[in-house]
A and B are shown apart, each in its own frame.
Chain A
Amino acid sequence: MLKKIRVILATLCFVAITLLFLDFSGTLHHWLGWLAKIQFLPAVLALNLVVIIALLLLTILFGRVYCSVICPLGVFQDGVANLSKKGKKGKYSYSKEIKWLRYGVWVVFVIALSAGLNALVALLAPYSAWGRIVQNLLSPVWQWGNNVLAAIAEKHESYAFYTKDVWLKSLPTFIVALVTLVAVVVLAWKNGRTYCNTICPVGTTLSFFSRFAAFRPVIDASKCKSCHLCEKKCKAACIDIDGGKKIDYSRCVDCFNCIDNCKFGALKYRFAWGSKADQPAVPETASADKGRRAFLVGSAIALGGAAIPARAQTETEDEPVKIEGEGGFADIIPKKAPKRTVAITPFGSESVEQFYKHCTACQLCVSVCPNDVLRPSKDIMHLMQPEMSFERGYCRPECVKCSEVCPAGAILKITPEEKTQWKVGTATIQPWLCLVDNGEVEECGNCARHCPAGAIQLVKKVREDGKTVRVPSVEEEKCIGCGACENLCPARPISAIIVNGYQIHHKA
């Protein structure tokens, strides 16, 4: 019964949160956005005390149900494990806690978190990992499906679906997502919740509380016939029958598989407050699959590590824009991102530092950005955390979607009206690239015409050829850094007007 409730709730949460990442229109967010906000790491980064306390209370009261129900990566692993032979037949067995790895990772995580090394934090955190996997691997499929529907809709003159460009936003992030997925699937397939109990820093954090949980599965030794069925069914490998019929509550994720399977009614999920938490006895002999597990974990870590140097080598330019045209169209050279002195972070992030300090790199904002402005950074210090760039579109004045979805407080919620008051950067002109300045055309002013802040003035200039032309100049005080000028500048591949971010955003 308990298991059934858990499975239903977990499935609902998992599907909903995955849809949140897939729905590029951002409509689901209105109803389901809270699911991202109750994730542990985003709540910590957002300093959302209500959620943090609620989650800790939940864990102290009921154990690590968070890991079984709320965490999408945890639920995903249950799904994978269920498909595996071991999971189906129940052939797990107790294994010892790998302390050095578990607490080692946790220490690294805490240090990284306090040092602001969020790229490392994001690499380890489960919610971010799942967001990345969905955004990089699943959402292209989703969007291609959408595009098929859009093509059908177009035939029937319906506007229900519109085509969405599918493009590789960042190769390094894609590789990280792929490696994470492979590692997690392999671990889950082989041994259930290995990731959650040896790597996941959120799981480890919660374990500090779950070992004192008020409600927990308890083995009634008088009823237990030592049939080992619960142990075999335990994908967290935390029930030790031979070692004293004990359960390691630091690793138990409250999946209730043991309870539903006990034929003798020896296992009960009951109030056990105050009774000394069962400490798992350390068996003298190492369990049979210890070596294998260590190898798997080790290789997973190695894979994760290997991905980092691989990134640097495989970094490439953005894919060229593919344009379908007939004979009658001039080719358009795809834009390239210019070198920016300071990265541009979204409106509402208030400063580059605060943005990167809070961002969990879950890619939710990247998923909903309708203008293809946000993409994961390739900068090693901020790897996978988003930044803005304007090769495909610009940060449109009416859009505040990223600020609405960010669960981690990296992008604070703003309204379109507030957006016009913030300056996230400022435009700079590179006159040698400007088509008017270098004599290719007599007039242009496309940047000035499209500046939503009215920050660009066309001023008279006597060109080298003696002609008086009107070239753009930026009124820095008015410029908000939205990138309209950069995106719409006819100079290609590098625009003649580019935006550099501000370290600290301020009001215009």
Chain B
Amino acid sequence: MKKNIDRREFLKKTGEGAAIAGAVAMAGACAPKKTVETVVSAAANDGKDPLETGKMELRTNPGNGDKVSLLGYGCMRFTMKKDENGKNIVDQENVNNLIDYALAHGVNYFDTAPVYLQGQSERAVGIALARHPRNTYFIATKMSNFQSNDRKVAMQLYNDAFKNLQTDYIDYYLLHSLGRGGAEAFKARFEDNGVIDFLLGEREKGKIRQLGLSFHGDKQSFDEMMALHDKYHWDFVQIQMNYFDWKHADGVRNVNAEYLYQELDKRGIPIVIMEPLQGGRLAKPAENVVNRLKERDPQASLASWAFRFVGSYPRVMCVLSGMVYMEHLQDNLRTFMDFKPLSEDEKYFLDTDISDIMANYPTVDCNDCKYCMPCPYGIDIPGIFMHYNNSVNQGNFPRSKEQEDYQKLRRAYLVSYDRAIPTLRQASHCVGCKQCIPKCPQSIQIPRQLRRIDDYVEKLKQNTLSSE
């Protein structure tokens, strides 16, 4: 099991999946609710739906003057169906419909990668886009050579991109998921094998219009990537940014987005944003956070706050969102058409007032991407985290024996835990083999978190839960 590393797994290992997972979970988590809310807000504004009359917010890339739509299409997950052999294949018709609709409403930035959708994303996006004039959209894809530092692998990935995407140039080409391992890892992946020199040459030739990177990692490795800017000149950089991570990143797996943004801004590098909803958490926050947000603006959807936050920073060129269903796309379009930036006061409300509250919730940063599954010992890892997070966020979370309603909350937690997760798949059965850790794009210390939840459940069962 450990030896057969397929593409999907190596994606998980490197952690790049964060972007995919994040965007997808966001879409899945918030969409239905948001639809209702945004319809209301559209009607309340001036009776006009931005989808009918609005204009997509465009940002100019200072490097080459590209007018890029602020909403970018993350192509990490589309609906799949079974082919005759029972294998999962992309539902191409759905992809075509979504991309046609997005283009018609001003979305012109499409972000894919050779590893997305079990390797089917580039091709599916290529088929959909080739039905439109090449100068009406920008293609972004990536050098996902995590599997091997062999130059051959890199060349294969690069050349396949052109075939799959049916194009002879790529607008935005990213070195996929840099950061872990810092300059040393970069050297092995791109310098020693000459791949970076090759790519720089392709940029010269115009086959790559803009060369950049996507980043996951700590402060030191980010500084090292910035130091490389002087040598290679990054045309753009893709980072994880959202109002929570602006000031509250943990500093180990990720850096405060405020720092990342300021460093890139200082250098005048255009920024593409991934994880604007922090893996969906910002579209489905804790109950009292919801109350605070709704008090501030009863008609704004929860996700729209998060999108507007990142969109309000001028150096941000494009905000990626993975949109699987038409409703997701329409909901997001309503935020990004006739885009309204936040005031300084509103930004502070999100990145400080709201985020401080959220930081106090002991939730696990899982976004249910299921990359860790199947656990060889049968544990339902995402199920356990989702159940825990939901009960924390919904406020029915017993904190201490002395608490009012403790018995009621205790029963609710234990009964719902058994309902959500069969006993044999609960956290108590985790052996701590750690096979899941490298698969988690969020770098969650899964066994440790499972143990924390198991200890908590044990305290509930033994009635020994007390406020520390």
Specify whether A and B are partners: yes
Q: Which residues of A contact B (CB under 8 A)?
A: 154, 159, 162-163, 321, 323-325, 328-332, 392-393, 396-398, 435, 441-446, 449-450, 488, 490
CB under 8 Å from chain A, chain B span 403-440: 408, 411-412, 415-416, 418-419, 422-425, 428-434
Q: Do A490 and B377 touch (CB < 8 A)?
A: yes
Q: Do A397 and B462 touch (CB < 8 A)?
A: yes
User: How close is A494's CB to chain B, nearest CB, in angstroms?
Assistant: 16
Q: Which 5 A-B pairs have the closest CB atoms?
A: A332-B378, A444-B431, A328-B373, A330-B374, A159-B415
Known: A154-B419, A162-B419, A397-B462. A330 touches B380 (CB 8 A): no
- Max chain B C-beta neighbours (<10 A), residue from A397, A443, A446: A446
- 11 cross-chain CB contacts under 8 A: A159-B412, A323-B422, A331-B378, A332-B378, A398-B463, A443-B431, A443-B433, A444-B432, A446-B432, A450-B458, A490-B377
Q: Which residues in A have their C-beta under 8 angstroms from that of B377?
A: 330, 332, 490
B461 on interface, CB distance cutoff 8 Å: yes
Q: How many residues of B contact A (CB 8 A)?
A: 31
B370 on interface, CB distance cutoff 8 Å: yes
Q: Do B431 and A323 touch (CB < 8 A)?
A: no
Q: Do B375 and A441 touch (CB < 8 A)?
A: no
Q: Do B431 and A329 touch (CB < 8 A)?
A: no
Q: Do A441 and B431 touch (CB < 8 A)?
A: yes
Complex CA distance for A321 and B370, rounded to whole angstroms:
24
User: How close is A162's CB to chain B, nearest CB, in angstroms?
Assistant: 5
Q: Do A398 and B461 touch (CB < 8 A)?
A: yes
Known: A329-B380, A332-B424, A393-B423. A446 touches B370 (CB 8 A): no
Q: Do B412 and A446 touch (CB < 8 A)?
A: no
Q: Do A330 and B430 touch (CB < 8 A)?
A: no
User: How close is B194's CB to chain A, nearest CB, in angstroms?
Assistant: 37
Complex CA distance for A159 and B405, rounded to whole angstroms:
14
B376 on interface, CB distance cutoff 8 Å: yes
Q: Which residues in A have their C-beta under 8 angstroms from that of B247?
A: none
B451 on interface, CB distance cutoff 8 Å: yes
Q: Do A162 and B429 touch (CB < 8 A)?
A: no
Complex CA distance for A116 and B431, rounded to whole angstroms:
44
Mark each residue of chain B from 353 to 384: 1 if its CB lies under 8 Å from any CB of chain A, else 0: 00000000000000000100111111010000
Q: Which residues in B have their C-beta under 8 angstroms from that of A330?
A: 374-378
User: How close is A405's CB to chain B, nearest CB, in angstroms?
Assistant: 20
User: How close is A450's CB to chain B, nearest CB, in angstroms?
Assistant: 7
Q: Which of B373, B419, B428, B434 contacts A488 (CB 8 A)?
A: B428
Q: Do B418 and A329 touch (CB < 8 A)?
A: no
Query: A325-B422, A443-B432, A444-B431 given. 6 additional CB < 8 A pairs?
Result: A163-B419, A330-B374, A397-B462, A443-B433, A446-B428, A446-B432
User: How close is B400's CB to chain A, nearest CB, in angstroms?
Assistant: 17
User: How close is B402's CB to chain A, nearest CB, in angstroms?
Assistant: 18
Q: Which residues in A have their C-beta under 8 angstroms from that of B376?
A: 330
Mark each residue of chain B from 429 to 455: 1 if its CB lies under 8 Å from any CB of chain A, else 0: 111111000000000000000010000
Q: Do A446 and B430 touch (CB < 8 A)?
A: yes
Q: Which residues in B have their C-beta under 8 angstroms from that of A445?
A: 431-432
Complex CA distance for A330 and B422, rounded to whole angstroms:
13
Q: Do B378 and A441 touch (CB < 8 A)?
A: no
Q: Which residues in B have their C-beta under 8 angstroms from that of A490?
A: 377, 429, 431
Q: Which residues in A have their C-beta under 8 angstroms from that of B461?
A: 396, 398
